Amino acid sequence: MLPSEIKFEFMKGHRYTVGYGRVFGCIMLGLWSGFFIGLQTELLTSNQFAQPKVLARACNFDAATNIIKGLALGYWTSILPITFLTITLCVTLYWAEVYGLALAALGMLGCLPVYLTILFFSTTIQTAKSLVQISKTGPEIFEVIDQLNDAGVTTTVWAKSISNGIALLVSVSLFGAYTHRVSELSIDATVPNILSPFTFAGLLFGAMIPYAFCAIVMTSINSVAENVIADIKEQIPKIKENKTADHKTFIETLTSISLKLVILPAAIVILSPIIWGVLLGFRFVSGMIAGSIISGIQIGIANSNSGGAWCTT
């Protein structure tokens, strides 16, 4: 049972009293925001609807038209989720400050169990699809497997979109906790001023971090893919000669390469606030965190939905 009132202090001397109605409202707002974000994602990435079919038609012309249309679709799909998240941020912050944001994130988490339940069978379906292709069964079986695979991909994109929304709400909550702590250093730290040179410079630098992170991760994935292709080409002649393929070495090599390649992007995320905080102070870090949150949610939703639409096309 919730108490009739919840009292807490945020920032120095700012005390808030929140009724259980607003607490419940924050949770429900997060839940319904997550639902509508997922619904919009399905409408724009499932091949049962118009937009992925338009993307499929673009494939008839050239690879370039497919890439342009896919990227544009991803950018379009970021409009409504950002709108829902903006409304959620404004209302929950007004009702219960960052505590309301945390409750909204908790409510949005309520959408995930359903999607993750379906998501677990997606990998199995993809494996079954490969086996169907290898065994050269009839087209009717491949059609059924393809539909199941598309459902799994769409559900994956649902989960990713909602995860992006949860990440935004939690990140802003943590940013509020950060400003609360640095307010002990300076009273104006509670309200970062973007016209401050250090804050604006940090905002600009922080907006770049998600792009640098994505570039490094994509380059790493490309390196792993190149190793996979090279190893497959090397082992195909052995398989044709009825020799046993060296699966163990293949898996160990890929695992080792993958773990090494994630060190740099992880280091960027962890060390950037520490290094720049020591060199340029908390104002630069405040701007950097805000910039990375704003930029990261946009690129996260757009890339996730572009990839989902391409997979189902």
Q: By residue range, what is the domain housing residue 91?
A: 5-312
Give the model confidence (pLDDT) of 77-125 as tens digits: 888 889 999 999 898 888 888 888 888 888 888 777 776 776 676 677 7
The whole-number average pLDDT for the span 157-167 is 81
Give the model confidence (pLDDT) of 248-287 as tens digits: 777 777 788 878 888 888 898 889 989 998 998 888 998 8
For 174, 202, 203, 248, 273, the CA distances from 187, given in Å and listed in that order, are 18, 19, 20, 59, 20
Alpha helices in the chain (DSSP H): 20-45, 50-58, 63-76, 79-109, 112-135, 139-182, 197-240, 247-261, 263-280, 282-312
Statement: residue 205 has pLDDT above 90:
yes
Which range (30-39, 40-49, 218-227, 288-297) has the least confidence? 40-49
pLDDT at 253: 76
- How far apart are the C-alpha atoms of 196 and 96, rounded to whole Å? 28
**CA neighbor of 4 nearest in space, from 25, 20, 15, 22:** 20
17 torsion bin: left (phi>0), alpha (psi -120 to 50), beta (else): beta
How many whole angstroms from its chain centre is CA 270?
18
pLDDT at 209: 92
* Helix (H/G/I), strand (E/B), else coil: 290: helix
Statement: residue 1 has pLDDT above 60:
no
Number of independent structural domains in the chain: 1
Q: Token pair of 36, please?
A: 């509508």
- How far apart are the C-alpha atoms of 73 and 67, rounded to whole Å? 10
How many whole angstroms from its chain centre is CA 237?
40
The pTM of the full predicted model, rounded to 2 decimals, is 0.80
The DSSP string of 80-132 is HHHHHHHHHHHHHHHHHHHHHHHHHHHHHHTTHHHHHHHHHHHHHHHHHHHHH
User: For residue 274, what are the contacts with CB-CB under 8 A and spacing of at least 6?
Assistant: none
